[in-house]
Structures are given as structure tokens and as C-alpha cells.
A = this chain, B = another copy of it.
Amino acid sequence: MARRSRPTAGPLDARSQAILRAVIEEYVVSAVPVGSQALVDRYRLGVSSATVRAILADLEAAGLLTHPHTSAGRIPTDTGYRFYVESLADTTVLPAVEQLMIRHQFGQVQFASEHWFRLAATTLASVTGSAGLATAAKPTAARVRRIDLVALQDRVVSLILVMREGTIKQAMITLDRAVDQDDLAHGAERLNMELTGSTAAQIEARLPAYAAAANAASDGSLGPLEAFDAALTSRVADRLARTMREFDAAAVEEVYSDGLLNVMEAPEFAQSEKLRRVFSALENRSYLGQLLELIAGSGRIHVFIGHENAPADMREVSLVLAPYGRPGRAVGVVGVLGPTRMAYSHAIGTVGFVSGLMNELVDHLYA
């Protein structure tokens, strides 16, 4: 067997690559193990099925393909997909028709709502036929733009924090004493003057001063009104620092997803046990969060194929993820999740295009 004697670790010759590619592309659409005869029938390979069989055996020896059982055709391994993504996948530019379609969908809501990321997830799901994922653009180190205090009840106050990038956070504060809205407005105004533009660290640096003022005031050296004002300010500043610190620490606020049913309908998940695993994978927000954090600053598209994912639930799915936004300012992530038998080329093209669109939106909005 001459073919067998070729060093399996060596680079693949063009014909082997063509056949690997054919197997993958055939399997991606058919979801059925592909045999040598099917390949010669459907692709212009110029060789007989026997030759193809020999090459398939080599590709299997190289770990790029595998066999469900002796008398079945070949299916790609995760390594095979990886090789395909690295070396064989077609141009990753999305066809103009699809670009137009996506742009059209985005045009509908442009500036009408703050929910582009949801739209991005929906669009990715419908265009790729997998599950679409997206996170909101999250500031790297949030800065205060504006603080509001609203009395919900005598002693319960809602702190509303608008960050420079437009994100809003709300927190509850319970006080020792009743306050009215005027007191709150006054306190908020003072804090706005002093803290606008500050980061969590900068606010934290000022906390001791606020606390000291509150203590001094409570000594009775000031009137009761001033004392209460100082105490309120200290209390709010404290909560504010904590809220911003928490916000900064959270890698990803929330992962929006759409089209999970697309993935669940894939034939590889016909058995309910696998289906359940996929579902819990889709719900595995903490792992997704980790990945998103990992790639957020990278500026390029990342592909995670099957067992390349650490959690067991994720071993049968692949992820194509791309960051968007302005590194150092605000970044988010968009992507798709599907079976390892995924149309990688198209998915990469789509994710790339959508992340580009999201870049435009972020630039336009937070210029």
C-alpha cells in the first residue's frame, strides 16, 4: 500500500485536502456519514472510489476523519473541522445578498431602541440557522455620567446611575431616617458635581473623606439638617462605589440568545439525552461569559470546536464568536452556537459581518 507508506504526520497533499473538504462539506449538509462512492458521484474528483477509499483511510489515520462503525461512511473529527477552519474554509466574506438582508433588518430599529444586541442574536440565528448569541457593549472601566436619587418610600431610596457609555444601573438604599425628594435632589446634585466622570477606583478614594464629614457632622458641630445631609452623601457614595465595582467586575452583564430551537432540531440531537445536554450547554452562561471575556479584547473571530470546549455539556457543539466595540472603551461579543457539524465558513462570514455592523453602531453612538 503505497498510500499507507506516506508519513501520516506530514502536510496533506492537495488531493487529500480536496477530499477532506468534500467530506466535510457533504457531511455538513447531509448529516449522514459520507462514503467513497457518494464522493465520486457528487464531486469531480477524477479518481475511482477505491482510490478515494485509500485516501479516506489515510485521513482517518491522520485523525481528521472517523468511522461510526466498519460499514459506515466517514465523518469529520473535531480535529478535521479545525483543519478545515484553519486551511480549507472558503472566503469568509458574506455574499452581498445576505449582507443586504442583514443591513435591512438592522435598519429597521437603528437608534430606535437600546436593544441591538438582541437584534444581533436574532439576526445571527435566522441567517446561520444556529443559535445566535450576543452581549451588550460593556464599558471597560465605567465612569459616572449622572446620578439620580428617587424616594420610593419614606426610608427606601433608589439610586439610579447612568454611566458614560449609556448603561443604567439601579440599586436600593435603606436609610435610618425618612427623606423627601428635595433632600435627595440636593444630595444627588452635590454628588453629580463632585463625581461626574469618576471611575469606581476614584470614587473609592474619596469614600474616607465622605465618611469623615459624616462623622464630624454627627458630633453636633453642625445643625441636624447638615448632619443628615452628610450622612446621606456618605451612604450614597458608598453604595455607588460598590455598584460600579460590581459592574466593572462582571465580565459579561447578560448573554442574549435566540434560535435555540434551531440547534435542538439538528438530527445529531435526536436522542433526548443529547438534546438535554445541548440545552444545558445553551444555558451554561458562566462558560459563555468566560469565553466572551477571553476574546473580548482580541479583535478577531474565534472558533471553539466540540471538545475544544472545557465543559462536558459543550463537547458536542461549536461556537463562533467575535468581539465588537472599542477596546479600552466598551466591548461586547456576538456569535453563534451550533452542532460541531456547522457550516463554519458561512458562520464565520456572518459573525464577522454582524460584528462589523455592531462596531459601526457603537462608533456612531459613543463617538
Cα(A184)–Cα(B260), bound, Å: 42
Contact of A276 among B113, B158, B261, B364 (CB under 8 A): B261
* 0/1 interface trace, chain A 139-162, chain B, CB 8 Å (1 if under): 000000110101011101010101
Which B residues are in CB contact (< 8 Å) with A98? none
With A152-B166, A264-B279, A279-B279 already in contact, 14 other A-B pairs whose C-beta atoms are closer than 8 Å: A112-B172, A113-B171, A146-B150, A152-B365, A153-B364, A153-B365, A153-B366, A153-B367, A154-B367, A156-B365, A158-B166, A261-B279, A269-B272, A272-B275
A170 B168 Cβ-Cβ under 8 A: yes
Taking Cβ atoms with an 8 Å cutoff, the residues of A that contact B are: 111-114, 145-146, 148, 150, 152-154, 156, 158, 160, 162, 166, 168, 170-172, 174, 260-261, 264-265, 269-272, 275-276, 279-280, 283, 364-367
Residue from A152, A171, A269, A280 with most neighbouring chain B CB atoms (10 Å):
A152
Q: How far, in Å, is A353 (CB) from chain B's closest CB? A: 23
A276 B275 Cβ-Cβ under 8 A: yes
B269 A174 Cβ-Cβ under 8 A: no
Minimal Cβ-Cβ distance residue in B for A163? B150
Q: How far, in Å, is A342 (CB) from chain B's closest CB? A: 19
A148 B146 Cβ-Cβ under 8 A: yes
The count of identical subunits is: 2
A148-B172 contact, Cβ under 8 Å, with A276-B275, A367-B153: no
Which B residues are in CB contact (< 8 Å) with A172? 111-114
Cα(A192)–Cα(B156), bound, Å: 21
**Pairs A-B, 9 closest by C-beta atoms:** A272-B272, A272-B275, A111-B172, A153-B367, A152-B166, A150-B162, A111-B174, A270-B272, A158-B166
Q: How far, in Å, is A125 (CB) from chain B's closest CB? A: 12
Cα(A265)–Cα(B280), bound, Å: 11
Q: Can you list 15 A-B contacts (CB < 8 A)?
A: A111-B156, A111-B174, A112-B172, A145-B150, A148-B148, A148-B162, A150-B162, A152-B166, A154-B367, A156-B365, A261-B279, A265-B276, A269-B272, A272-B275, A275-B275
Which B residues are in CB contact (< 8 Å) with A166? 150, 152, 158, 170
Which B residues are in CB contact (< 8 Å) with A264? 276, 279
